[in-house]
């Protein structure tokens, strides 16, 4: 199982709203030769950490690919660039954010990129809810903690709601 997180909180001239941009990103991923297997619902949530940015729209896709994690991450960055992603500062507003969340059972820690599973995914409802839509039985390969347990730990503090 390979899972990619998709997010946007700025409109894009060619794709429109953040929701439409996320949907266009799924097509862009598929156009790289990756085979998209399933797509989650989209969710709206406030930025984390809290700021005056617009709300985010987030989702996730599962896919198959011949690319290794490093090649896949480079491909995702290429797609972000095609969608006019500008990296001004950490947690800044963006037209598109693509994160490699899980790549099969691979565990990568330390300086090698990408770190797997994604190091911040378990504390973010906007990641876990879409993942639950397409991989409800996933458990963290290091801690053994389930998605539902992580979501219970977060509770309603992040106000992440489905939009489609």
Reported as a single tens digit per residue, the pLDDT across 75-133 is: 999 999 999 887 777 777 789 999 999 999 999 987 778 999 999 999 999 999 999 99
Catalytic site includes residue 94: yes
CATH number of the domain that 142 lies in?
A: 3.30.70.560
Tens of pLDDT, residue by residue over 31-79, are 998 999 999 999 999 888 788 889 999 999 999 999 999 999 999 999 9
Tens of pLDDT, residue by residue over 9-32, are 998 999 999 999 999 999 999 999
With vertex at residue 96, the alpha carbon angle to CA 74 and CA 24, rounded to the nearest 5 degrees, is 95
d(CA 121, CA 127): 6
Q: Give the chain's domain count.
A: 1
pLDDT of 164: 66
Catalytic residue among 55, 84, 85, 108: 85
Catalytic site includes residue 68: no
pTM higher than 0.75, yes or no? yes
Catalytic residue among 44, 97, 132, 133: 97
pLDDT of 104: 95
DSSP letters along 23-87, please? HHHHHHHHTTT-EEEEEPPPEEE--SS--SSPPEEEEEEEEE-SS-HHHHHHHHHHHHHHTT---
Domain encompassing residue 15: 2-162
Catalytic residue among 35, 44, 87, 94: 94
């Amino acid at each position: 199982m390979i899972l990619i997180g998709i997010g946007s909180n700025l409109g894009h001239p060619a794709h429109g709203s953040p929701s439409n941009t996320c949907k266009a990103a799924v097509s862009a991923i598929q156009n790289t030769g990756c085979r998209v297997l399933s797509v989650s619902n989209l969710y709206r949530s406030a930025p984390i950490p809290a700021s005056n940015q617009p709300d985010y729209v987030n989702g996730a896709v599962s896919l198959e690919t011949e690319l290794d994690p490093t090649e896949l991450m480079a491909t995702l960055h290429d797609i972000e660039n095609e969608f006019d992603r500008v990296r001004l500062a950490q947690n800044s507003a963006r037209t598109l954010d693509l994160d490699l969340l899980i790549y099969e059972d691979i565990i990568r820690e330390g300086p090698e990129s990408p770190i797997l599973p994604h190091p911040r995914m378990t504390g973010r409802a906007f990641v876990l809810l879409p993942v639950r839509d397409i991989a409800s039985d996933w458990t963290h390969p290091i801690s053994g903690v389930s998605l539902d347990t992580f979501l219970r730990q977060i509770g309603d503090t992040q106000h992440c709601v489905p939009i489609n």
